[in-house]
Amino acid sequence: MPLTEHLTELRRRIFISLVSVLLIFLVSFNFSAEIFGTLTLPLKAEMKLTLTTPYVQFTEKPSTPLVFLAPAEAFWMHFKVAFMAALILSLPVIFLQFWKFISPGLLPKEKKYFLPFLFFAILLFTVGAVFCFVVVLPFAMTFLLGYKTAQMTPMLSVGSYIDFCLKFIFAFGAIFELPLIIIFLTRFGIVTPAVLARNRKYAILAAFIIAAVLTPTPDAFNQTLMAVPIFLLYEVGILLSRIMFRRESSRG
């Protein structure tokens, strides 16, 4: 198609995506209080591992009060959580529009790989977000609110808390895409498992740099909470790339 037709088609796909986000936002805003209540769970409970059954336990802890420091802060909190919920629930529509825009220019072989890639991208993002919400956030809040605070009473701004949670959740969702990215690069011959294994030391450095950029706070504790999973996911990516590399070699 000519460039003008490409731009027209792109505008159409973006418009449909934005309309879907807007419509879902109008619904999710009515449930913003319930969404907010769910996001406060890391303040109320934490996961503990034991050597006896049940091996995973969720225990209640004293809840930290949330306050708002500006007249509009509570309203914008509800607006923000409703928008994030709408954005997540609209992902199938957004990805469908993206697929419809690029599919005419893909070869049949490329189309065959794109849909599984898209499915696992959504799956890994969801796993990363859930892992952050269930494991990382309760542990981080317990540590940060209890670290040398015997003479202080924690009182969190609701806006700051929601920003902290959403940034952490989206950041973990993003870093859980790392094995898929490594598999993609291996599949198209951009990297090999041997190259990935030789560069582990650089991967560790990159993990802490990425964690420093993505974490919403500058402290080393939260950066470590993110850097360690990044490196572990890098190792998983190496393992999966070796399996794929061996299969491709055997076929060749």
Report residue 191 CA to chain centroid gap.
24
In a domain, 168, yes or no: no
Of the candidates 247, 203, 246, 197, the residue with the CA atom closest to the CA atom of residue 227: 203
> pLDDT tens, position by position, for the chain (252 residues)?
677 887 888 899 999 999 999 999 999 999 999 999 888 888 887 666 666 776 666 777 777 788 888 888 889 999 999 998 998 888 888 888 888 888 777 777 767 777 787 888 888 888 888 888 888 888 778 777 776 667 777 788 898 889 888 888 888 888 888 888 888 787 777 778 888 888 888 888 888 888 777 665 666 766 777 788 888 888 888 888 888 777 766 665
In a domain, 54, yes or no: yes
Q: How many structural domains comprise the chain? A: 1
Quote the domain boundaries for residue 119.
Answer: 1-138
In a domain, 209, yes or no: no
Please give the pLDDT value at position 230: 84
In a domain, 159, yes or no: no
In a domain, 118, yes or no: yes
pTM for the model: 0.77
